Amino acid sequence: VLDPSNTTLQAATNAYLKDTNALLKSSDIYLMTMDGQTIAASNYDSDVSFVGENFSYRPYFQEAAKGRQSRFYALGTTSLKRGYYFSSPIEIAGVIRGVIVFKVDIDLVEDSWGKGTAQGTEDRIFVADPEGIIFMTSRPEWLYATTLPLSPGRIARTQTSRRYADAKLRELPVRRGEFAGHEVMTIADNDGDREYLVVSQPMPDAGWTVSVLMDTGSVHAQAKTTVAALLLSLCLAVLGLAVILQRRARLAERMHLQAEAQNALEHRVAERTADLARVNAQIEEEVAERRATEQRLRQTQADLIQAGKLAGLGQMSAALSHELNQPLAAAKTYAETAGVLMDLNRTEEARDNVRRISALIDRMASISKHLRNFARKPNEKLGAVSLQEVMDDTLEIVAARLKAADADLVVDIPANLPKVRAGSIRLQQVLVNVIGNAASAALPMTLTSTCC
């Protein structure tokens, strides 16, 4: 800036700016003198080189020439490319000698907005300058259109700064309104009017306003979808409730039927139980009657047996009377004789008579004992009985009968014969009956009884 005519220094500066621009990935970097003349630029070797161009009319130059850093959005008059300009004064020894400018391309930002629109979203984004002119947007057809009335003052200020070069300015066909407390903007497009919900955010430092437009059609569609989803959910809930109520009704009906079936079953069981109880009572009565009948039968049998024994004793009474009278008479004779012998001092013979009297008494006692046992009702239990002992007792009873019948009884019982399981009195009665019957029917003979 101190020696603008030095071509060598100019060439070196151009190369340095080009390398710096590539490193920073900015659009352009250029250097101007205090009269606005560009003396070096990063695009010095391109068809749209800024070298030799004068930008003294740009606000960013005017601000920097006054010693202030500045930024400015504009459409390049040389490159016809939109960019955002950052300018700063060049001071040497406290004196402003020139201005350096960085230009940043904004196409990448718009490309990102365009990609969002291409992916199916109906949202629109634009950035407007203080005059309301759109200079960044996701809709290319809205570029350089204004959302505010295009008054002569706005046109004059824009042309003075040559912000948009020779671009044709126009008003965007907009109708403003309000929806649910929010600003609504209706824009006439080629495919008809579209209503957008507007959310704006001012940028005071740059003087811009960023606006996001959301298509209310999608909002209405979402609202309708939400309402439809709610209605569907409500219908499903009602249907589910109806199904649950129906299932509960079926379950209640099934439980009622089961309860009725259970009551009927319990009633049948009760009836069958009562029938079984009656049958059991009848069976118990019959069993009791049969037991009583059996008891009476046993008693009758015992009475008959006892009557038979007594009858047998009656039949043998004459013989038994003889059997008892004979020892008594003999005992009386022995007693009288013993008295006489004692008077004669024949003591030894008197003692012999006494022993004979004692033997006769023992015989009568034995006969009486056997008759008493024979006449007694048998209530003994079965047990081991010696057949020889039973036969001996029987002979004591039937001896008189056999003698009266003039019959002899020969008994042959082996010595090693084991005991039998019986009642001694009942077995004795059987033997008495058998031997008595045989003695009554027999002629004078010898009876033989053999046990083996």
Phi, psi dihedrals of residue 350, rounded to the nearest 5°: -65, -40
**Strands ordered across the beta sheet of 38-41:** 38-41, 28-33, 95-105, 82-92, 70-75
**What confidence category does residue 17 fall into, taking pLDDT thresholds of 50, 70 and 90?**
very high
Whether residue 98 contacts residue 33, with contact meaning beta carbons closer than 8 Å, is answered with yes
d(CA 314, CA 316): 5
- Residue pointed to by tokens 């569609």: 221
**Mean of pLDDT values over 291-299:** 86
410's CB contacts (< 8 A; 6+ apart) are 446, 447, 448, 449
Task: Look over the chain and give the mean of its residue pLDDT values, rounded to a whole number.
Answer: 80
8-state DSSP, 133:
B
Q: What is the pLDDT of residues 350-407, one digit of tens each?
A: 888 788 788 778 767 766 766 666 666 555 577 888 888 888 878 877 777 777 777 8
**CB-side neighbour CA atoms (13 Å) of 445:** 8
The residue among 381 and 154 whose pLDDT is bigger is 154
The residue among 157 and 329 whose pLDDT is bigger is 157
Whole-number Cα distances in Å, 38 to 34, 52, 53, 100, 257? 10, 5, 5, 9, 104
Using left for φ > 0, alpha for ψ between -120 and 50, and beta otherwise, residue 310 falls in alpha
Whether residue 30 contacts residue 64, with contact meaning beta carbons closer than 8 Å, is answered with no
Q: Model-level pTM? A: 0.41
252 pLDDT above the threshold of 80? yes
**What confidence category does residue 321 fall into, taking pLDDT thresholds of 50, 70 and 90?**
low
Whether residue 163 contacts residue 73, with contact meaning beta carbons closer than 8 Å, is answered with yes
The residue among 415 and 13 whose pLDDT is bigger is 13
pLDDT of residue 345: 84
326 pLDDT above the threshold of 80? no
In angstroms, what is the C-alpha Rg of the chain?
77
**Mean of pLDDT values over 150-161:** 80
Whether residue 103 contacts residue 27, with contact meaning beta carbons closer than 8 Å, is answered with yes
d(CA 96, CA 13): 18
**Mean of pLDDT values over 243-260:** 91
Element (H, E) at 311: helix 216-315
111 pLDDT above the threshold of 60? yes
Q: What is the pLDDT of residues 78-102, one digit of tens each?
A: 777 778 889 999 998 889 999 999 9
d(CA 194, CA 174): 10
Judging by DSSP bridges, how do beta strands 182-189 and 192-203 pair with one another? antiparallel
The residue among 122 and 213 whose pLDDT is bigger is 213
pLDDT of residue 320: 60
Q: What is the pLDDT of residues 163-197, one digit of tens each?
A: 777 778 888 888 888 776 777 777 777 667 777 77
Task: Quote the tokens at residue 314.
Answer: 């009656």
119 pLDDT above the threshold of 50? no
